[in-house]
Structure 1
């Protein structure tokens, strides 16, 4: 991933290639990925479904994980820091 200057500076610990997964399936995939990560680690979620631009930020607000940045494109990348504790 080439990334924009803003997202290129974000160090990620894990990549989740969600492909064409939509809301429910994507959220379950992110939940499973976060379960095995340590607090403070960053997940890069690559997703092709257009609806995810709304779903991922909402999931972050509901779960308390921090959405650091969104890089639009095909796929879009969502950079999420796992909450502490």
Structure 2
């Protein structure tokens, strides 16, 4: 699957629940530079609510969410 975004890092969270997913994402993004982009791949339906809210609270713009069946791809810029 091809997307218009070219992330610097891809984090495949698989079926990880949101608590663990958010913590791993936070730790991964801490190492990134402002303006870099991460793609998060998640099979957890709860992430569709939790990730956008986390992005708003952390001032990390959620550029897009692309759903492919039960798999969602989130493209997040480090703010």
Length-normalised TM-score, structure 1? 0.87
2:17 equivalent to 1:22: yes
1:9-65 alpha-carbon deviations (Å, 9 max, x no partner): 211100000011111101001101101111100000000011100010000000000
**What is residue 72 of structure 2 aligned with on the other side?**
76
Greater share of residues in strand? 2
Length-normalised TM-score, structure 2? 0.93
Query: What CA RMSD, in Å, does the superposition of the two structures yield over aligned residues?
Result: 0.9
Which sections of structure 2, spanning at least 5 residues, go unmatched? Answer: none
**Residue in structure 1 matching 2:28, options 6, 15, 33:** 33
For 1:46-85, what aligned pairs fall within 5 Å after superposition? Answer: 46-73=41-68, 74-83=70-79
* Structure 1 residue 67 displacement after superposition: 0.1
Equivalent residue of 2:44, what SS? coil
Which sections of structure 1, spanning at least 5 residues, go unmatched? Answer: none
